[in-house]
Amino acid sequence: MEKVYFIADTHFFDDTIWRYENRPFKTISEMNSEMISLWNSFIYPEDSVYVLGDFCKLGHESEILASLCGKKYLVKGNHDIESNHYYRTAGFQEVYDKPILFENFWILSHEPLYVNENMPYANIFGHVHNSPIYKTYSKQHYCVSVERINYMPISFEEIFHKITHE
C-alpha cells in the first residue's frame, strides 16, 4: 500500500549547508550516505516522497535520485535553479515551480506561507532549517526541513497526527 512522505532541504553534496547548519555528520560523504540509508530503510518503490525544495548541489541529482527508493516529486526551492525538464530527466516524477495543493487542504511549498486558523488550508514547507523563529508544527503548518525530522522523510500520517493533536 502506497504511503506519502515529505522532506525538504536535503542539500546532498552541499558542504556549505553542511557547515552552516552544523549538521551532525563528520563529512559531506557521511551526510549523503546516512541520509540515503535512512531514506531507504523504510521507503518502498510504490511510496511517494515530496521533496519540498533544495534537494542537491547542482550536477549530482541523477546519482542521488538513482540511489533513493520511491517515486520522487520536487517542489522547487531557491537552490533548485535548473529547468523542470532537467530535474525530470534526473529522475523526479514531476517538478513544480510554485506551491501545490495536496488533498485539497495542504499547501506544499518550499518557503513557509502565511496561513491562519480562519483559512481552509495548512502548509507543509521547508526552507527555514533550524531557525528558532519557526515552530516545527502547529495546527496550520508543519516544517519538514531535514534538521527537524531526523534527516529522513516523514510520513503524511505522522504529520496529520501531530497537527490534529496539537
pLDDT in tens, 68-120: 999 999 999 999 999 999 999 999 999 999 999 999 999 999 999 999 888 88
pLDDT of residue 116: 86
Q: What is the pTM of this model?
A: 0.96
* Residue % of the chain over a pLDDT of 90: 93
Q: Are residues 8 and 51 in contact, defined by beta-carbon separation less than 8 angstroms?
A: yes
Q: Cell numbers of 164, please?
A: 490534529
Residue type, 147: E
Which helix or strand (DSSP H or E) is residue 155 part of?
strand 154-155
Mean pLDDT over all residues of the chain? 96
Residue type, 122: A
Cell 530527466 sits on residue = 89
Q: Cell numbers of 133, please?
A: 523563529
pLDDT of residue 70: 98
Q: Are residues 113 and 107 in contact, defined by beta-carbon separation less than 8 angstroms?
A: yes
Torsion over CA: 3, 9, 11, 17 (sign): negative
Q: Is residue 6 pLDDT above 80, yes or no? A: yes
Pairing mode of beta strands 141-143, 71-75:
unpaired
